Amino acid sequence: MIHRFDQLVVDLPEPSGPNPAAAAAVQELMGGKFGEMSTLMNYTFQSFNFRGKDKYRPFYELICNIAAEEYSHIEAVSAAINLLLNGATPRIDRSKTPMGPSGKKAKDKKLAAKPAAAPKGGKGNPAPLSDPNVTSFYPYHFSGSAQTALPYDGFGNPWNGSYVTSTGNLKMDLLHNFFLECGARAGKARVYEMTDDPTARAMIGYLLVRGGVHIVAYAKALEKLTGADVGRLLPIPSVSNKQFPEAAKLEAEGLHTIMWKWNTSDAFAEIGKIWSGPHPEDGLELEVRNEMPPGFPWPDFPEEPQLCAPGDIDPDMLAHYARKLGT
Amino acid sequence: MIHRFDQLVVDLPEPSGPNPAAAAAVQELMGGKFGEMSTLMNYTFQSFNFRGKDKYRPFYELICNIAAEEYSHIEAVSAAINLLLNGATPRIDRSKTPMGPSGKKAKDKKLAAKPAAAPKGGKGNPAPLSDPNVTSFYPYHFSGSAQTALPYDGFGNPWNGSYVTSTGNLKMDLLHNFFLECGARAGKARVYEMTDDPTARAMIGYLLVRGGVHIVAYAKALEKLTGADVGRLLPIPSVSNKQFPEAAKLEAEGLHTIMWKWNTSDAFAEIGKIWSGPHPEDGLELEVRNEMPPGFPWPDFPEEPQLCAPGDIDPDMLAHYARKLGT
Amino acid sequence: MIHRFDQLVVDLPEPSGPNPAAAAAVQELMGGKFGEMSTLMNYTFQSFNFRGKDKYRPFYELICNIAAEEYSHIEAVSAAINLLLNGATPRIDRSKTPMGPSGKKAKDKKLAAKPAAAPKGGKGNPAPLSDPNVTSFYPYHFSGSAQTALPYDGFGNPWNGSYVTSTGNLKMDLLHNFFLECGARAGKARVYEMTDDPTARAMIGYLLVRGGVHIVAYAKALEKLTGADVGRLLPIPSVSNKQFPEAAKLEAEGLHTIMWKWNTSDAFAEIGKIWSGPHPEDGLELEVRNEMPPGFPWPDFPEEPQLCAPGDIDPDMLAHYARKLGT
Amino acid sequence: MIHRFDQLVVDLPEPSGPNPAAAAAVQELMGGKFGEMSTLMNYTFQSFNFRGKDKYRPFYELICNIAAEEYSHIEAVSAAINLLLNGATPRIDRSKTPMGPSGKKAKDKKLAAKPAAAPKGGKGNPAPLSDPNVTSFYPYHFSGSAQTALPYDGFGNPWNGSYVTSTGNLKMDLLHNFFLECGARAGKARVYEMTDDPTARAMIGYLLVRGGVHIVAYAKALEKLTGADVGRLLPIPSVSNKQFPEAAKLEAEGLHTIMWKWNTSDAFAEIGKIWSGPHPEDGLELEVRNEMPPGFPWPDFPEEPQLCAPGDIDPDMLAHYARKLGT
Amino acid sequence: MIHRFDQLVVDLPEPSGPNPAAAAAVQELMGGKFGEMSTLMNYTFQSFNFRGKDKYRPFYELICNIAAEEYSHIEAVSAAINLLLNGATPRIDRSKTPMGPSGKKAKDKKLAAKPAAAPKGGKGNPAPLSDPNVTSFYPYHFSGSAQTALPYDGFGNPWNGSYVTSTGNLKMDLLHNFFLECGARAGKARVYEMTDDPTARAMIGYLLVRGGVHIVAYAKALEKLTGADVGRLLPIPSVSNKQFPEAAKLEAEGLHTIMWKWNTSDAFAEIGKIWSGPHPEDGLELEVRNEMPPGFPWPDFPEEPQLCAPGDIDPDMLAHYARKLGT
Amino acid sequence: MIHRFDQLVVDLPEPSGPNPAAAAAVQELMGGKFGEMSTLMNYTFQSFNFRGKDKYRPFYELICNIAAEEYSHIEAVSAAINLLLNGATPRIDRSKTPMGPSGKKAKDKKLAAKPAAAPKGGKGNPAPLSDPNVTSFYPYHFSGSAQTALPYDGFGNPWNGSYVTSTGNLKMDLLHNFFLECGARAGKARVYEMTDDPTARAMIGYLLVRGGVHIVAYAKALEKLTGADVGRLLPIPSVSNKQFPEAAKLEAEGLHTIMWKWNTSDAFAEIGKIWSGPHPEDGLELEVRNEMPPGFPWPDFPEEPQLCAPGDIDPDMLAHYARKLGT
């Protein structure tokens, strides 16, 4: 059971303009095999399926807690994609646009720039999504989701359950999780290089830091279980988070040392048995905080009338019903 | 952002014994296109992607809140599957089993009944998962997940993102959700008939009632938006929840009239603008409760050593490392 | 554009009883890569996409005409599956079954034999789909389609568009079609051996003959185009249709020599330029008939109330609405 | 069983030139989950699988009849895609092109404009498909189908059988169909905005009107079955067809009020029990016509020699065979 | 480039009889995400894609060499599956079986036991694949592959390229490979418990040992690269190979300490820089052998005439052609 | 079992520069249903699964031998893709790039030309993969594989096991293989036209010739088995290899008449019973060579530091560990 807060875990800067290419790239971090849907669902199922909780309680709690944090990550990725797609095509309300003669083309054929700036169309018959330089980056964003996020990867393949590994063997699952987080880190670093958009990078920088926490957490868990110094493998890939300015700023604030508690109750009290000691990279002391991180308001996603999103009631139709129904 | 509580939304009776066939059937309610992964993910993405929140706030809050409740449903389905699979194969710890001569088969070849009751094996070389009458119902439960739930449907196809519809058009998305919940209800009713296991049916009965709440909620939402009396279509299919004893019992307690609030804060304050008035089936007054429903402890999932779940450290190995490492 | 006739191309004998295992096997002939969905959709798309019709009209017409016949084959496969599934589980109408106390199990736990013969259940709480010996052959038949056909193969994988080859190169597409029909023939022969059910075999025998016509047609087309004696490769596999009694009977009537015309107009007038001369196996003269074959009534698929198919309106609900609405 | 007519249901204007980006967008209407393959196959399977025909004959006939019409829609979508792709790359016949020295590149490297206008190449070694601005919109159109339609969606995912819902419960299936058509309408409206190509828009305008007929038909069916005023939900999304000039023109002619009969016989005689009364949007009287709509000739799809479609016999090869075979 | 030897890497005992359930279980080791197709293809692609060979030559050679060994593992898995399926259904040659009257059923309806022992059928019309207790374990084995192996997993899902990870980052890819091999080991151990068939277990025992070599190799590689004592994590899961008699026997012979060289040339000369030192479990010295391991003849897979595998030329057909062609 | 040689079967010219669009197109030849993964895996599984080797030994050996050659083809395709992607984005080592103030954008925003020529970035925060004109051709090349090949097709769909046909019926499998090679040839010819890049075309020209050998081999095999003159169908499509300069050059050297032996031993001694007589196109005598073709060194794939491929150890991290560990 969860409480859901209407807040976002990261304060994303408003983009200076739409960037549908960056949105397409960021989709990989949502629905790719190393994306946030994968981290969320792997830990979620592992936590549901945990056998022998009494014996291995700190490990159980760690997986539960990280699973809960991952929810905030699919939120962050969605918010970034949506921000990057706001206004990517001209805002034209077909039901309010005077039409030219049937079939007549708009005078100004190319309505959309790349990205589109301002609604146009005038008296003609608009085609607000018609610029293939915009809409062919990720066709589903335009034909499907009204310029918002979807559980698909960066090349249009849907996230699927085969990306979940839940073997029930604790050492195996912890190794998997450590591997998965490192793979996710590699993916984040690459998408970071695929865009210089400050909104996308702010989000990715945040994910690098918090995903880095998860890497260290699973490394520590494996160390507790076996004595192997897994942390010495880090960072994977070998470029430190400190090299990514947006991440470096957050690590300077110590965000990489904190394990938030995604629960107000006294549950998950044994996480500190794993999350403690020095951080393997910079030696700072790790800390469990008995609170969720501070949240930020979700950014506003304005109406996109050209996609009927959310769509008005057509006034002509309303009038018709009023007549027909006498209401 | 979420708080995650280590509780289950429904109090599932302990099964009298393992029932891997029922567990296989119940998987459809997890990863089928009409399963709980679908309801969870559809509303979750729609809530992330909502445009025009100010104008349509009650609708936004409704979708957020139901999305949060769906999380408790994937928990409930998982718990039921896991309970049904506990002990489905004989519990034999290979690392503690004296071996016969290499390659010699166990004397008692068929170790597992259907379902397996007690561990056997003795001095021979055990094959605890070898009964195809058990393990071929759902091979992944044995080769993959250590007798626990997976995000796959009842015939082994993985849940995937193509099951998510998030068009951004509010009326369209609400219609989708109403349809999806009705389809989910049809699926639940069928899986109910596929087993008479009290654990499975207790879980499904609960889902029928709470899924019924979601059906009514989306019907009410469409009614508010358009004036159409969508509730008159109900129930779909035409057999009432009252005909399922496990559901009838819960409806007698009024559970079908309550919209829980999956948030302690004062968020989602406008849900009552939609969830109000009489229930379309029995006319009882609908009610928003400013609290999450009471939770129950998760059932215990004992160790299944034959699957190394969670798996002990092999004592021989530990001794070896002790020698090698001098620790 | 099509006219659709409410008739079946083959007169299927009523099965002596349900046979869900045979129905599962026959699904391969529907949605497998060599199934009838594949033959239908390959030729349909090739006909839509044909370039250079004037130059190669007889080939175009042949593909169009065979595509049309394939429609009757997905009908035949569906009808056979549905017949085999009629009554496979006990017919119990939950809304008319008096219930015992909530949660109480039916006295007679195993309601369904394999296959189920007669409805049972009495006063208890029935579980008509609960026999895993029946419902685990093909779970979707019970959780999904109400004991009817689906566009999936024999192991639960959905038919998909990657099974369509439409290269636009005529020689290539004809070779593909010849190959596809031979692969389909191999599949039919195997499913024939997977059941001795007279209904399934009558259907498969018919498909062997008519699919054999398509094999010969594509062989002749390749021969016209290139001069190669492709027919000499036949039969593939090497067992003649004459060895399958149900097919042999139809070939004794000459059904393998007839190219029906799936159009009343004078379209497709040039098919005879390809479909002529001796049959490569038995030398009988090939013949184009300017008519569709005689049709047969579709068999009756009775209600399966345990699956709410088609489902009655629940009388209690109706009464409720009558009260509420005053109608 | 079907008769297949070599005609197209809509008279598509010849495009002024190739438009591969529009063709890519239109693929979503073919193989997307809300595309015409889905509407065709859903109703087709539901009609095959209908239980209780005697009791619910008008509903059965309605589904059969709409299924038949959908066939004309996959034709229309294919024809539009093919028209948009005609000539999209330069027409060069490799077997007739004098080659330069091995490996020497064509002088005029960029053979294809966007879209390509006229064949070029001269003495060099042509690369007619080499312009990524053309061929990367939808690679399968060039590597696979010779610039024609395929059963894939707008982002290259194949249509698959999981898009078919056939629950056997009549109310559920009708609700599904109503939902599916609304979803399809949303998709059509979006693809309409993705192009201002008159050919694509003429086709989509036609689909909006006829799909609108199906929406109303399923709404009426649900109303007959339950009394709920489902029609009041329309239009979904809320922009009327009257706002799309190409659709408005057809509705002005009353095309949205006609249920064509896709059968010459007196079958489907009871459709009028559902398709009658006023249209929910403009109140015009609904009408069943005992005939198929008038058809139009399929447009010509000229040879594309650069893709060997349909491909000539290489004269050198023919000469070789003549010598070798003495024929 | 490869040389292919017509030999098998492991000497599999002939099974005492067919075991289609075991064959189905073993498919997971072929086409599952942790199966041998995955290990083969991951290392193969990583070796093709290796950047910076000069700098990291020992790592490159190690991946190349292990990739080559994996080829022998898909052979071993195939051979085991095929052995387990030999004779699983009665051997009846339809073209040589006297037929009863058309449509008459075989007297002895159940031809196949589980597994089938001896061909039957007599004068009737045989149905050699008709025993669902045999053919529904893995339908593709009977409808598709003539009782042999396929690149699918244990529940009928095809192996696919999304199981390949080739990030180009050496540390990441090595971590992936270490993880993949551990996951593969978990899968092998589970399939081992799913059968006590000596043939299957001999094969799996061999894979456990050789897969164990790969685990250690990738652990050593990570250790060389980073200094972390990854080997201390082993074994994963925690049951030692010594507990599996078939594996223990091979480890007693030292097979777990040998890195074979899958190349006769002096290539891969630097592998010893990684494969050296003590084995992390038992401390035995690791050894590179400049030779491929000794091979064994492939077992014989006899004809299965009931599946036309490989299929005779039908004598009647031959006679016909002789007459027709005068040859 | 195989020996693996660290050599490439074709001597590919170094490209004059990166060509990511060509690399994307060539992916179809890797993972498309007609790609080299398909030819490799079809023949590989057929060879593992061959029944009746004694009776049909020449056919068995032919399939084994061609399967082995196909391995060299996935190498060739990979090498070409990798060459085309070398340097496609600017080479910037993030860990060595001085950073500007956190979040500050690089002055020179567009770092990558199409294709990118030289590393830039200076003091700013680089975004080396940020040019969507480069990275959106095939997103996985940049987010996933570090600019190298993957087992996916040209539109991002993974190769999968459903592309393998292994029916066990020899005539059927040979027909399949003949068809598959012709389909592969059609695909090669189209990708050839999709690029004029000399590296891609050299590779494709080679594949056309060697794939042509396989076409003739399977045609000959069918001819031996049945007497049909399958070779007369060739070429499919009808443009001769002689029309492709890169292929013509190789055929002028006779490469199309040679069956290499992918084995040093005296295995596969009976291939000559099939591979003999005149080539069906130009009548040259066919020849079996008891050797593998000469190999060429793999081209060098330089480091791509912007993708951390292969990735250096971050010096700061190393220093940190040195301090921490005292090593």
Q: Which residues of B touch A146 (CB under 8 A)?
A: 49, 51, 166-169
The structure tokens listed for A97 are 């646009």
Cβ-based neighbour number of residue D107 at 10 Å: 11
- Provide the mean pLDDT of chain D: 90
In contact, F317 and A235? CB cutoff 8 Å: yes
Give residue B312's pLDDT band: very low, low, confident or very high (50, 70, 90): confident
The yes-or-no verdict on residue F323 having pLDDT over 80 is: no
Q: Tell me what pLDDT residue E124 has.
A: 72
D51·C146 Cβ contact <8 A: yes
Q: Which amino acid is at C248?
A: A
Residue E115 has pLDDT above 70, yes or no: no
Q: Does E touch D (3+ CB pairs < 8 Å)?
A: no
Are D176 and B157 a contacting pair at CB < 8 A? no
CB A177 within 8 A of CB A42: yes
Residue C208 clears pLDDT 80, i.e. is over it: yes
Residue E108 has pLDDT above 50, yes or no: no
- pLDDT of B254 > 60? The answer is yes
Taking an 8 Å cut-off on Cβ atoms, the answer to whether C169 and D309 are in contact is yes
DSSP string, A280-314: TTT-PBPEEESSPPPPEEPPP---BGGGTBS-PPP
* Span E162-171, pLDDT tens digits: 999 999 999 9
Model confidence over F257-306: pLDDT tens digits? 999 999 987 889 999 999 999 999 999 999 999 999 999 999 999 999 99
In the structure, what pLDDT confidence band is assigned to residue C131 with cuts at 50, 70 and 90? very high
Confidence at F107, pLDDT banded by 50, 70, 90: very low
Highest mean pLDDT among A118-122, A309-313, C315-319, D58-62: D58-62
Condensed to tens digits (0 to 9), the pLDDT of residues C273-302 reads 999 999 999 999 999 999 999 999 999 999
CA distance D101 to chain C (A): 28
Q: What is the pLDDT of residues E47-102, one digit of tens each?
A: 999 999 999 999 999 999 999 999 999 999 999 999 999 999 999 999 886 554 43
CA distance C141 to chain E (A): 15
State in Å, rounded, how far the first CA of chain B is from the last one.
43
Identify which of D95, D143, D314 has the shortest CB distance to residue F154: D143
Task: Identify the H or E element spanning F297.
Answer: strand F296-297
Q: In the predicted model, is pLDDT for residue B325 greater than 60? A: no
What's the pLDDT score for residue D67?
98
What distance in Å separates the CA atoms of residue A273 and residue F283, rounded to the nearest whole number? Answer: 78
CB contact under 8 A, D51 and C301: yes
Model confidence at E322: pLDDT above 70: no
Give me the pLDDT at residue F264, please: 80
Contacts of C183 in chain F (CB under 8 A): 165, 167, 172, 176
pLDDT digits (tens, 9 = 90+) for F46-92: 999 999 999 999 999 999 999 999 999 999 999 999 999 999 999 99
Does pLDDT of D82 surpass 80? Answer: yes
> Is A314's pLDDT higher than 80?
no
- Give me chain E's average pLDDT, please: 90
Over residues D123-135, the mean pLDDT reads: 90
The answer to whether the Cβ–Cβ distance between D176 and B183 falls below 8 Å is yes
d(CA D114, CA D109): 14
Q: What's the longest Cα–Cα distance across chain E?
A: 78
Q: Which of D116-130, E198-212, E294-308, F13-27 has the lowest mean pLDDT?
A: D116-130
Whether the predicted pLDDT of A158 surpasses 50: yes
Q: How far, in Å, CA of B264 to CA of B255, rounded?
A: 20
User: Do β-strands A287-289 and B296-297 pair in parallel, antiparallel, or remain unpaired?
Assistant: unpaired
Question: Quick one: pLDDT band at residue E146, thresholds 50, 70, 90?
Answer: very high
Q: Is residue D274 predicted with pLDDT exceeding 80?
A: yes
- For residue E178, pLDDT beyond 70: yes
B-E interface: how many C-beta pairs under 8 angstroms? 111
Q: What is the mean pLDDT of residues E105-133?
A: 56
State the DSSP code for E8. E
**Beta strands D296-297; D7-8: pairing state:** antiparallel
Task: Evaluate whether E58 touches E274 at the Cβ level (below 8 Å).
Answer: yes
Q: What is the pLDDT of residues E208-244, one digit of tens each?
A: 999 999 999 999 999 999 999 999 999 999 999 999 9
Chain E contact probe: residue of B143, B157, B325 with most E CBs at under 10 A: B143
| pLDDT per residue as tens digits for the range E12-22 | 999 999 999 99
**Bond from prior residue into C198 cis (ω within 30 degrees of 0):** no
> Chain B residues with CB inside 8 Å of D183's CB?
165, 167, 172, 176
Angle at B133 between CA B131 and CA B138, to 5 degrees: 100
Distance CA D147, CA D89 (A): 9
> Is the confidence at residue B115, as pLDDT, over 60?
no
Question: To which residue do tokens 């925060």 refer?
Answer: F125
* pLDDT tens-digit series, residues A187-223: 999 999 999 999 999 999 999 999 999 999 999 999 9
List all residues 6 or more positions away from D93 whose beta carbon is below 8 Å from its beta carbon. Answer: D305, D306, D312
d(CA F277, CA F260): 16
Chains that touch D (3 or more CB pairs under 8 A): A, B, C, F
User: Could you tell me the CA-to-CA distances from A9 to A44, A70, A73, A298 in Å, in that order?
Assistant: 19, 10, 8, 9
For residue range D37-78, list pLDDT tens digits in order: 999 999 999 999 999 999 999 999 999 999 999 999 999 999
Percent of chain E whose predicted confidence (pLDDT) is above 90: 84
pLDDT computed for residue E320 by the predictor: 57
Q: Tell me which DSSP letter residue E297 carries.
A: E
pLDDT band at C312 (very low <50, low <70, confident <90, very high): confident
How many CA atoms lie less than 13 Å away from D223 in the CB half-sphere?
Answer: 19
How large is the angle between the packed helices C57-85 and C20-31, nearest 10 degrees?
160
pLDDT at B282 over 50: yes
> Strand (E) positions, chain B?
2-4, 7-8, 258-260, 287-289, 296-297
Percentage of residues in chain B having pLDDT higher than 70: 87
Tokens of F15: 């490209």
Q: Model's pTM, two decimal places?
A: 0.94
pLDDT band at A95 (very low <50, low <70, confident <90, very high): confident
Q: What is the pLDDT of residue B140?
A: 98
**Mean pLDDT across C154-180:** 98
pLDDT of residue B105: 39
The single residue listed with the structure tokens 């994968």 is: A38
pLDDT above 90: residue E314: no
pLDDT band at F316 (very low <50, low <70, confident <90, very high): low
Contact A99 D283 (CB under 8 A): no
Q: What are C134's two structure tokens?
A: 């029946």
Q: What is the pLDDT of residues F208-238, one digit of tens each?
A: 999 999 999 999 999 999 999 999 999 999 9
How far apart, in Å, are the Cα atoms of E61 and each of E31, E53, E258, F73?
26, 9, 16, 20
User: What pLDDT score was predicted for residue F315?
Assistant: 60
CA distance B79 to chain E (A): 23
CB C156 within 8 A of CB C138: yes
pLDDT at residue number D112? 30
Provide, as residue numbers in chain E, all residues whose Cβ is less than 8 Å from the Cβ of A238: 169, 171
Are A195 and F314 an interchain contact pair (Cβ–Cβ within 8 Å)?
Answer: no
Q: Taking 70 as the threshold, does the pLDDT of residue E34 lie above it?
A: yes
A neighbour chains, 3+ CB pairs within 8 Å: B, D, E, F
Determine phi and psi for F304, rounding to 5 degrees: -120, 85
F232 contacts C172? CB cut-off 8 A? no
Could you check whether the bond before residue B115 is cis, i.e. omega within 30 degrees of 0? yes
Task: Assess whether pLDDT exceeds 50 at residue C165.
Answer: yes
For residues B310 and B20, give the distance between their C-alpha atoms in angstroms, rounded to a whole number.
20
Mean pLDDT along residues D249-264: 96
Inter-chain touch B182–D172, beta carbons under 8 Å? yes
Average pLDDT over residues D318-326: 54
Q: Cis peptide before E299, with omega less than 30 degrees from 0?
A: no
Q: What is the ipTM, given to two decimal places?
A: 0.92
Quote the pLDDT of residue E44. 98
Q: Taking 70 as the threshold, does the pLDDT of residue A325 lie above it?
A: no
Cα distances (angstroms) measured from residue C144 to each of B154, C135, D160, D167: 10, 11, 16, 6
pLDDT band, residue F312 (cuts 50/70/90): confident
Residue C107 reports pLDDT greater than 60: no
Closest CA to D292 of D271, D262, D272: D262
How many CB pairs below 8 Å do chains B and D form together?
81
Query: Cβ of C106 and B242 within 8 Å?
Result: no
Euclidean distance between CA atoms F76 and F11, whole angstroms: 9
For B280, phi and psi rounded to 5 degrees? -65, -20
**Whole-angstrom distance, CA of residue F108 vs CA of residue F120:** 8
For residues B20-43, average pLDDT: 98
Q: Beta partners for D8?
A: D296
